[in-house]
Amino acid sequence: MQIDAKAVKALRDKTSAGMMDCKKALVEAGGDQEKAIDLLREKGLAAAAKRAGRAANQGVVDSYIHLGGKIGVLVEVNCETDFVAKNEEFRSFVRDICLQVAASNPAYLTRDEVPGELLEKERDILRAQALNEGKPEKVVEKIIEGRIDKYYRENCLLDQAFIKDEDVTIHDLLTGMIAKIGENIVIRRFARFELGEGLEDDGGCCGGCS
């Protein structure tokens, strides 16, 4: 099948994959851009999986301050080499993660970090809600799992929709960067600070009041 060079460029602009990879994906997808994107993502996931076991001891700690100093974020992202740590695309990726944490306020990095007791409590609440809504007993468990999945998507960074493209999760963004850079990349940890968070209103009393 003959593939137009403009179609190849359009796919490259959308995915940042190599020109030959884009052309092969379009040929395999019969010229369908969306199917070609899916194919490239699948190949990216495969490439990422192969690199997941590699040691990632380099990287950067980046920061972002938003809203006139009212929200601050620290993020550590690791890679395999100092060369990649200095790469502009890698740095841009880290900055996007900072923006994501600032905007979406995830509570956890991955699903595995969510405490089991919290999930059990959440399931009990969701089960009671579903039954109170009159849902049939036989579908309650399916409803609960669907709502737990929504909880993950709202609270776990890797499951969240990317703020710049809601069709892409942070996990997709990460695996795409691994495929593009050719090294294992790990979002190691993050911290988000919001001015006044956790403080109770003391009625305006200053710190010197006794």
pLDDT tens per residue, range 109-118: 999 999 999 9
CATH node for 5-51: 1.10.8.10
Q: Give me the CATH code for the 115-153 domain, please.
A: 1.10.286.20
The residue with greater pLDDT, 43 or 27, is 27
Q: Whole-angstrom Cα distance, residue 35 to residue 1?
A: 15
Q: What is the pLDDT of residue 207?
A: 46
* Domain ranges (residues) in the chain: 5-51, 58-110+156-194, 115-153
- CATH number for 58-110+156-194: choose from 3.30.479.20, 3.30.300.30, 3.40.718.10, 3.40.50.1820: 3.30.479.20
Query: Which of 137 and 186 is assigned the larger pLDDT?
Result: 186
pTM strictly above 0.75: no
pLDDT at 14: 75
Q: Which CA distances in Å does 13 have to 10, 47, 89, 124, 161?
A: 5, 20, 14, 46, 20
